[in-house]
Copies of this chain bind each other. A is one copy, B any other.
Amino acid sequence: MTKPTTISVLAETLRKQSSLSEKKIAKVVAAYKPFPTKHNQVLVRKGDIAKYLYFVEKGYLRVFVTDASGNQFTRFLIEGGMEGTAFPSFISQKISSASVQCVGKAEVLRISYDELQKLYQAVPEFERLYRKVIEMAYVSSIHRIETLISMNSRERYLQLLKEKPKWFQQLPANVIAEYLGITKETLSRLKSAK
């Protein structure tokens, strides 16, 4: 079990990204509960409803889908300081087509859908903040679509290497490959070709 040792990252992030008072930050932080996870633990299973939004204190979560042959494809990687879940399921509270899993060990906080609605009432400015979170996530997904439709695997690899060098140190290669939309063999060859 990896127990959260601290919940400071969320508070820090709120201070940086919003102008919420310390009191309100405390309210928000209190609404997110530390959730102990095991190595590679699955947080949302395909077919479940995503009931929680997860804030990553440390490590990574991956959101992935599987095809008929059981191949996995990583839709998103959520790194420390970011939050996410199987989003389409979370906002609609309907069955998820994707799964969410810890990559190795991760420390996360979570807030339920219902608690989040209550938080909007308690801290109205939080709703605007949430909108910003969505906007940012949307912008980064647009960026992702662009690279997927306009670049070949080598260009995507080099771009990610430039934008997220840490990922290559901290994440297993097959996860990176799934994220890039290529096989682990192709990624391995791109690395050695440099």
Set of chain B residues within 8 Å of A130, measured between Cβ atoms: 131
Q: In this assembly, does A88 line the interface, its C-beta being within 8 Å of a C-beta of chain B?
A: yes
Cβ–Cβ contact A87 & B138, under 8 A: yes
Set of chain B residues within 8 Å of A146, measured between Cβ atoms: 65, 73, 75, 97-98
Determine chain A's interface SS by DSSP, over half rule. Answer: helix
Interface residue tally for chain A (C-beta within 8 Å):
34
Q: In this assembly, does A193 line the interface, its C-beta being within 8 Å of a C-beta of chain B?
A: no
Q: In this assembly, does A135 line the interface, its C-beta being within 8 Å of a C-beta of chain B?
A: yes
- The number of times this chain is found in the oligomer is 2
CA distance A87 to B136 in the complex (A): 11
Query: What are 27 residue pairs bridging A and B, where the CB atoms are less than 8 Å apart in the complex?
Result: A65-B146, A65-B150, A67-B150, A67-B151, A73-B149, A74-B149, A75-B146, A75-B149, A87-B142, A88-B139, A88-B143, A91-B139, A97-B146, A127-B128, A127-B131, A131-B131, A131-B134, A134-B134, A134-B135, A134-B138, A138-B138, A138-B141, A141-B141, A144-B145, A145-B145, A148-B148, A149-B178
Q: Enumerate chain A interface residues (CB-CB to B < 8 A).
A: 65, 67, 71, 73-75, 87-88, 91-92, 97-98, 127-128, 130-131, 134-135, 137-139, 141-146, 148-151, 178-179, 181
